[in-house]
Amino acid sequence: MEPRDLSEHVPYRAGRGIDEVARDLGLDPDELVKLSSNENPFGPSPRAIEAVQSAAESVHTYPKAAHTDLAAALADRWDVETEQIWLGPGGDGVFDYFGRAFLDPGERVLVPEPGFAYYAMSARYHDGVVDNYTLSKAEDFAQTPETVLAAYDDHRIIYLTTPHNPTGSEMSYEDIETVAQETDEETLVIVDEAYAEFTDAPPARDLVEERDDVAILRTFSKVYGLAGLRVGYGLVPESWADAYDRVNTPFAVNLPACRAGLAALEDDEHVEKTVETARWAREYIHDTLDAPTWESGGNFVLAEVGDAERVAAEAQKEGIIIRDCSSFGLPECIRITCGTRESTPEAVDTLNEVIDR
């Protein structure tokens, strides 16, 4: 027998993990600097580590209370009802829940190009059809209502990313509001704020209160350093928040992840250190990399280096792992995740040597 026709589905190819690369190069993983997946260079909060350890004793139970506690803490933080928090296995899992809740077969979605690959993947899993709007390199990947609306044709879902991965560009609150305003009432605008903690721009949260066609995506994978636990959430309008119970996979987030998420939320010091260091590293990379870079609101910087595949391969041999952006349709660009005050200069030194070769 065979699966259904999956020819439209593009396999997800994750960046290689630090252990795989170390094995290939015959190096100790500790000798490598991994700045390719926008992970937290400080690791998880110490409180989250403790929470995972103590949760281990209870993993024979379903995470009913843990789920409720995390959703309630997030609702409190955002000043919304608990039902308005849609927990999922990573932000990616939450995109799937939006797809399950909104897409009838054949309905169309609008995604940014370049952009985050999972929007299109998730939409296709839910029998959606994918169209693109283009962020133009010549215009520094500017995100305006016009860029989105020029490609809009009664799509069921529009995905916006601010700060945008991989370019770092941002979309203002007013411009997001314009997109929501100018599109049909039955068009859901998803604002992906996976990197919002790293910018000063205000979140789209008030739009979720004022309108019923805007939802926000947040994740614990980036600033909170919990990528390996897979926990994210949607912040959705009250009027359709109850759809969650009809679309979520029961106990979407596992017990250690719920407990770690709660602990991480409480650790302001870890978050502040992470954000402050990322902001410093962004400037450091802009100032010292021997290549043009773009302004970034995230914990990463996009740089134009000519042949990204060569630069990524040669830097990796020297122990520096960064992201070759060919898969984003930018074969001349690399994306460098902000590291620590030690690892960032080390990475830039190596990259400059490789770029200047």
Ligand X SMILES: *Cc1c(COP(=O)(O)O)cnc(C)c1O
**Least Å from the CB of residue 92 to ligand X:** 4
- Looking at the Cβ atoms of 112 and 145, the one nearer to ligand X is 112
**Least Å from the CB of residue 174 to ligand X:** 21
**Least Å from the CB of residue 234 to ligand X:** 11
Residues in the interface with ligand X (CB under 6 A) total 14
**Least Å from the CB of residue 342 to ligand X:** 24
Q: Which of 83, 84, 119, 71 is nearest to 99 (CA)?
A: 119
Whether cis (ω within 30° of 0) applies to the bond prior to 63 is: no
**Least Å from the CB of residue 88 to ligand X:** 8
User: For ligand X, which residue of 86, 97, 98, 116 counts as binding (CB under 6 A)?
Assistant: 116
**Least Å from the CB of residue 60 to ligand X:** 26
Give me the 206-245 binding string for ligand X, x by CB under 6 A, dash otherwise. Answer: -------------x-xx----x----x-------------
Burial of 177-192, coded b for 16+ CB within 10 Å and e otherwise, reads: bbbbeebeeebbbbbb
**Least Å from the CB of residue 91 to ligand X:** 3
- Looking at the Cβ atoms of 225 and 319, the one nearer to ligand X is 225
Distances 208 to 84, 144, 203, 212, 238 between C-alpha atoms, Å: 10, 20, 10, 7, 8
In degrees, to the nearest 5, what angle opens at C-alpha 117 toward C-alphas 288 and 332? 35
Among residue numbers 5 through 44, which ones bind ligand X (CB under 6 A)? 38
**Least Å from the CB of residue 132 to ligand X:** 15
CA 28 to chain centre: 28
- Looking at the Cβ atoms of 40 and 343, the one nearer to ligand X is 40
Distances 130 to 86, 112, 133, 332 between C-alpha atoms, Å: 24, 10, 10, 25
Does 343 engage in binding with ligand X (CB under 6 A)? Answer: no
Whether cis (ω within 30° of 0) applies to the bond prior to 112 is: no
9 and 121 Cβ atoms separated by less than 8 Å: yes
Among residue numbers 76 through 105, which ones bind ligand X (CB under 6 A)? 90-92
| Alpha-helical regions (H) of the chain | 18-25, 46-55, 64-78, 90-102, 117-125, 145-149, 173-182, 205-210, 244-247, 255-266, 268-288, 308-317, 343-356
Tell me the DSSP string of 233-273.
EEE--GGGGGGHHHHSPSS-S-HHHHHHHHHHHH-HHHHHH
User: For ligand X, which residue of 170, 192, 213, 324 counts as binding (CB under 6 A)?
Assistant: 192
User: For ligand X, which residue of 194, 223, 255, 257 counts as binding (CB under 6 A)?
Assistant: 194
User: For ligand X, which residue of 40, 84, 143, 161 counts as binding (CB under 6 A)?
Assistant: 161
- Looking at the Cβ atoms of 126 and 350, the one nearer to ligand X is 126
Does 297 engage in binding with ligand X (CB under 6 A)? Answer: no
Does 165 engage in binding with ligand X (CB under 6 A)? Answer: yes
- Looking at the Cβ atoms of 117 and 129, the one nearer to ligand X is 117
Residues that bind ligand X (CB under 6 A): 38, 90-92, 116, 161, 165, 192, 194, 219, 221-222, 227, 232
